């Protein structure tokens, strides 16, 4: 047991009491030895029972002076003691009790430094919009990357696009060498795990620049052009229980990417496009794609038929809504209108 590497599970929280007991309860059931893992809660000033819940599960608690999750995840990165760092959002619940065990085995055995998270499933009785979120995040991300993070399709779609280097019953490793448009791999959410010791030593700039947090994989890619995906490792994702909340999240993403492109916006697509040159130009096609109506309609029909759920036709109005927000905020920016930086989803 002493030879097993220490794993730090990092969770940024802010008023997370609703789902956090499920998140921490699932971690408590993990087969990986409890003495070889730590759970780090980085809290942005919760006013509910978040901290009380975290203490009841013996979590290491760190205060995040900023409420934004990027700052919280960076603090966790700095304070975590583990060789391997696994990130969960405060609304993501592991379903496989061997999740950490299998991931550590893969990292120790194979010549890789990162395993992408995802494999999302919709919690029982949650609305359709949460399923759309689990698959694509938002219409813009669907257009740019066209890859599903849903448990049923993630591995299948990766196998269609990329060569497999190695495969076992628990994971598959993909060769992404010479890939012009890299998939969206966020190593700080979704149960993703990576070699924190390697990243800190190979890229010391990550110790100071918090805006690099969502782009850790793109840094690793400059030296290792491969990544692993786990099999049979679903995560229940309690992201958006209402359409109103989801629309607010889209608005937040658009606003911060446009008005704060030199600061917090760098943690989103504004920063991500630097690592994928083709996306710098593809992004301009999203507006005509959305307003053409026919192309998002075709995609909506395809999704509806392949998923056997007519509600995927929501893709069309969501595209128009997102495109309209982009044009609106671009216009305000040209007019010199300033916005305050707000917490996620507000």
pLDDT digits (tens, 9 = 90+) for 275-327: 777 777 888 999 999 999 999 999 999 999 999 999 999 999 999 999 999 99
pTM greater than 0.85 (yes/no): yes
DSSP type of residue 150: B
Contact partners, residue 290, CB within 8 Å, separation at least 6:
139, 296, 319, 320, 322, 323
C-alpha torsion sign, points 159, 163, 168, 171: negative
Cα 61 to Cα 48, 94, 174, 178: the distances in Å are 15, 21, 35, 41
Q: How far apart are CA 301 and CA 295, in angstroms?
A: 10
Contact 38, 80 (CB under 8 A): yes
Contact 221, 178 (CB under 8 A): no
CATH superfamily of 7-237: Spore Coat Polysaccharide Biosynthesis Protein SpsA; Chain A (3.90.550.10)
Q: Is 276 exposed, middle or buried (0-12, 13-18, 19+ CB in 10 A)?
A: buried
Contact partners, residue 118, CB within 8 Å, separation at least 6:
149, 151, 154, 190, 191, 192, 229, 235
Flag residues of the chain having pLDDT under 50.
Answer: 345
* SS3 label, residue 270: helix
Residue 263 backbone dihedrals phi, psi, to 5 degrees = -130, -110
Q: How far apart are CA 147 and CA 5, in angstroms?
A: 32
pLDDT digits (tens, 9 = 90+) for 209-222: 999 999 999 999 99
Residue of 109, 133, 110 lying closest to 120 (CA atoms): 133
Contact 139, 318 (CB under 8 A): yes
Q: Domain extents for the chain?
A: 7-237, 243-334
Extended strands (E) in 82-202? 84-87, 92-94, 114-116, 120-121, 163-167, 171-175, 192-195
């Amino acid at each position: 047991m002493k030879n097993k590497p220490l794993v730090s599970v990092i969770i940024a929280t802010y008023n997370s009491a609703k789902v956090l007991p499920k998140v921490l309860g699932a971690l408590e059931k993990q087969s990986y030895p409890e003495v070889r893992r730590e759970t780090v809660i980085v809290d942005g000033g919760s006013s509910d029972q978040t901290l009380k819940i975290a203490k009841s599960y013996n979590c290491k608690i760190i205060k995040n002076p900023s409420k934004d999750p990027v700052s919280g995840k960076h603090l966790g990165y700095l304070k975590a003691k583990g060789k391997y760092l696994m990130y969960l959002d405060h609304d993501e619940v592991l379903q496989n009790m061997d999740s950490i065990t299998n991931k550590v085995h893969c990292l120790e055995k194979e010549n890789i430094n990162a395993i992408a998270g995802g494999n999302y499933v919709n919690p029982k009785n949650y609305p359709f919009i949460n399923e759309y979120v689990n698959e694509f995040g938002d219409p813009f991300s669907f257009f740019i990357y066209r890859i599903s993070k849903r448990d049923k399709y993630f591995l299948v779609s990766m196998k269609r696009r990329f060569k497999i280097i190695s495969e076992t019953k628990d994971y598959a490793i993909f060769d992404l060498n010479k890939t012009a448009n890299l998939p969206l791999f966020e190593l700080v959410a979704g149960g993703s795990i990576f070699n924190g010791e390697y990243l800190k030593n190979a890229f010391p700039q990550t110790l100071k620049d918090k805006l690099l947090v969502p782009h850790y994989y793109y840094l690793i890619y400059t030296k290792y052009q491969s990544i692993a995906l786990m099999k049979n490792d679903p995560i229940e994702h309690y992201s958006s229980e209402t359409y109103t909340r989801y629309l607010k999240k889209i608005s937040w993403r658009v606003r911060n990417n446009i008005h704060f492109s030199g600061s917090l916006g760098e943690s989103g697509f504004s920063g991500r496009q630097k690592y994928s040159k083709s996306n710098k130009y593809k992004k301009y096609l999203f507006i005509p794609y959305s307003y053409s109506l026919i192309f998002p309609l075709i995609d909506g029909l395809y999704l509806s038929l392949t998923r056997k759920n007519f509600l995927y036709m929501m893709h069309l109005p969501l595209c128009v809504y997102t495109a309209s927000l982009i044009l609106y905020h671009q216009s305000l920016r040209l007019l010199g209108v300033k916005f305050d930086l707000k917490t996620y989803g507000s």
